[in-house]
Amino acid sequence: MTTQDTVAGLEGVGKAYGARQILDGLDFSIAAGSVVALLGPNGAGKSTLAGLVTGRLTPDAGRVTLFGRDPAHPEARARMGVMLQAAGLPDGLSVAETVALQASYYRRGLPVDEILDQAGLTALAPRRCDRLSGGEQRRVHFALAIAGAPDFLVLDEPTTGYDPEARRALWQLVRRKADAGTAVLLATHHLDEADALADRIAVIADGRLIADGPPSAIRARVAGFSLRVRTALSPDALQGLPAVTRVTPRGADTTLMSTDARATLQALFAADPDLRDFDVTGATLEDALADLLGPSTPGTGALS
């Protein structure tokens, strides 16, 4: 990756809050035209990393750049759009007025009608922001993030409250922006979203980058198959089946990781002749993260 390609970069960055070291010698970069999904458990340092690249925080050690400048530099910040998970909207303004106000702050702000269309808000343009549903408010947050035609987008849980059709539409829009050259930093609890959108997945734990690569490479860290079963057998009994490497209860179902699905299923049917509800897939991104972080690690996606 050349320096010209790098939109945001961290070199040997350390950041602590009191005695707690949040980031420890972290190297990380985002290239123009790429979508990078940032994953890891709560408290891993994701929000701190985002705060550094957006200029809200400064490092204790190392160097952070945004478009080759200090991230707090006005010219660097003007090329960035941020959609945070928690953000307010002006109660007394309509959607169109709110978007127009945001676009007016930028020298190259997009036309209001174009912003509304891209965010799926045209029909809601005259509605006051305090009369929007949660999902509609998230659409406005996205509209505000893209109002300045940014070259770098930071998206924190962008599709919270969206219905499935709206989620897919936003995925397509984000992908189009990346294909046009925009760099995107994505944090999401929806692993299917990370898998569908990201060119790279970066996993942070204990202040360090523990995995970084295409989704296929992250999934490949887990060899074998994922078996979802609904059975009366105990987790201990399932763990003893041939080729099973991990057992993870998930409500009424149980997920088994196996290096030989045929051998596992043959033994499973012998132990539970009444088994009727099961399916077999290749290892998923969720399986890979469980392998990297531990099966019970909470809060894998959002910037926290």
Q: Does residue 76 contact residue 69 with C-beta atoms inside 8 Å?
A: yes
Q: Report the pLDDT value the prediction gives residue 1, as an integer from 0 to 100.
A: 45
Name the residue type at position 224: G
- Say whether pLDDT at 284 is over 70: yes
- Say whether pLDDT at 195 is over 60: yes
More confident residue, 290 or 271: 271
pLDDT-based confidence at residue 288 (cuts at 50, 70, 90): confident
- Say whether pLDDT at 304 is over 70: no
Each residue's pLDDT tens digit, 177-191: 999 999 999 988 888
- Say whether pLDDT at 3 is over 60: no
Each residue's pLDDT tens digit, 57-93: 999 999 999 999 999 999 999 999 999 877 789 888 9
pTM for this one? 0.81
Q: Report the pLDDT value the prediction gives residue 298, as an integer from 0 to 100.
A: 45
243-250 contacts, C-beta under 8 A, 24 or more apart: 246/290, 246/291, 246/295, 248/290, 248/295
Q: Does residue 205 contact residue 40 with C-beta atoms inside 8 Å?
A: yes
Compute the average pLDDT of residues 138-153.
95
Q: Report the pLDDT value the prediction gives residue 290, as an integer from 0 to 100.
A: 83
What distance in Å separates the CA atoms of residue 190 and residue 195, rounded to the nearest whole number? 9
Residue percentage of the chain with pLDDT more than 90: 66
Each residue's pLDDT tens digit, 205-261: 888 999 999 998 888 877 688 899 999 999 999 999 999 998 989 889 999 999 899
Residue percentage of the chain with pLDDT more than 70: 95
